[in-house]
Structure 1
């Protein structure tokens, strides 16, 4: 239940919201061409999409692109909560950045459909939210110039967080709404050092849904298929290149040489060194 609600508009559109809630609370996001930054100032919420969920504790935030239906937040600890929401509208962003959009809204090289990400506690973002509270309590002091500065400020802060590359993927969808197939995403990330959970996030599916769809495509589990592809690539490089075995292991997505050596021996019956000598002879 909503106990208190305040909002501030920018150019006639909802920009800032402060919502105080008490349990039970459940809110479904409508499909819209916008992105939202939700900061959990007090309490704890759970974000749900399909059959996956993410817990957002106090002083943490969630960034999501709202173009996909079926997303909702709900309380999980039966205590009062306070959420501050900043909304990104594509037309407003184009208006305030007349010459060129910031890099964080431009598509990068990462092949991903990910549309939401938790933003961990950050001191500067926390201070930014505290600054917004002043304007909710003093709406007469708000004007468009101040709001434009606050919008640019949160964009700058998000671009400097530890997961800025993921944030860029999410925000760039506002202007480059490309959707990749699961196969495209899997093949593009075969030799990177990301785990199956992160790969599922990039497909914008829950882990269970990703594994189910993967099985349909490849008739194998993600872990098994990806490991075999990495080992096959390593075997090729051992024959055609003079790279050190450590470098080959790293290039193929292994970050532990002992694990690589054991896995390689299990598959090919030889250590990487012996395999290189045998195949070259």
Structure 2
């Protein structure tokens, strides 16, 4: 599918602002292998990977990767390895340039089998002992990965030098580099389960993102449901409509934090999933009859 290609197609065929400043891809055996994009964020979009995995290296800006029950942030020179699963991707700008730049390497099972032929690496053949506990892993900045990405960028700028043999070698090289990173044990666990589906139950996904800035449509995507199906499942599980339940939980948490925390009201509002202080204050007063500041002041007086 690609991390950026759908955005490029969408904004290239509408009258909307073209957020993709530069986009290139290189394919191997008919499937996307390398992808490079320079984007003017912010952008937040679904990123389902049903039968592929991806290595994403950040060159400018910040990338928030959100899975069924996890949240991971990567900044400049850091990388994320994501196995197959449901994800949301949030792209944020570099504070100085206002841009986001990243290079992605995509892994497809049929492409890897063709690359390795009868000499498959252990991570593709090793029996799975325990179910994997995560869908993604963060890799810290490293000079070898930086050098590798520079090589890939060279081929983007010189496509006449690209051939099948080089692409096969570069695919094998990134896998070897991943297995030698500082986070090698966790990376290896991801590699060993690269195309294995990981089941996360409905309630775990909901509880993991109750206080995140995620819409109902995005929650539905993470649970692999349509919005209408998600709402039905939610009401059957929690005996309450989604928005009503989520707002109630967020307000209750904010009330507790106001009582025990020294955080500012603004920080509490954002930590509990409210986008603005005004919206938080309005909902708080509707539910508890007083503003957050007056509620805190009343408690401090006691």
TM superposition score normalised by structure 1 = 0.60
Contact kept, 8 Å, 2:69 with 2:205, in 1: the verdict is yes
CA deviation map 1:207-240 (0-9, x unaligned): 9539xxxxxxxxxxxxxxxxxxxxxxxxxxxxxx
Instruction: Give structure 1 stretches of 5+ with no counterpart.
Output: 183-204, 211-281
Give the corresponding residue for 1:55.
73
Instruction: Give structure 2 stretches of 5+ with no counterpart.
Output: 1-18, 210-302
2-structure distance, mates of 1:140, 1:181: 44
Residue 134, structure 1, aligned to residue 134, structure 2: no
Pairing partner for 2:88 from 67, 71, 86: 71
Change (3 A) 1:54 1:143: same
Change (3 A) 1:181 1:52: closer
Contact kept, 8 Å, 1:47 with 1:73, in 2: the verdict is yes
Superposition CA RMSD, Å: 2.8
Residues 1-281 of structure 1 mapped to structure 2, 5 A cutoff: 1-50=19-68, 52-65=70-83, 67-75=84-92, 79-105=98-124, 106-107=126-127, 109-175=129-195, 177=196, 179=198, 209=208
Change (3 A) 1:81 1:158: same
Change (3 A) 1:179 1:124: same
Higher Rg of the two aligned structures: 1
Change (3 A) 1:113 1:5: same
CA offset at residue 179 of structure 1?
4.6
CA offset at residue 110 of structure 1?
5.0
CA offset at residue 98 of structure 1?
1.3
Change (3 A) 1:56 1:179: closer
Change (3 A) 1:112 1:135: same
Give the corresponding residue for 1:218.
none
CA offset at residue 107 of structure 1?
4.4
**Matched residue pairs, number?**
188
Change (3 A) 1:150 1:160: same
1-structure distance, mates of 2:94, 2:190: 28
Give the corresponding residue for 1:226.
none
CA offset at residue 121 of structure 1?
0.8
Contact kept, 8 Å, 1:107 with 1:168, in 2: the verdict is no
2-structure distance, mates of 1:181, 1:22: 33
Change (3 A) 1:2 1:107: farther
CA offset at residue 2 of structure 1?
1.3
Change (3 A) 1:108 1:51: closer
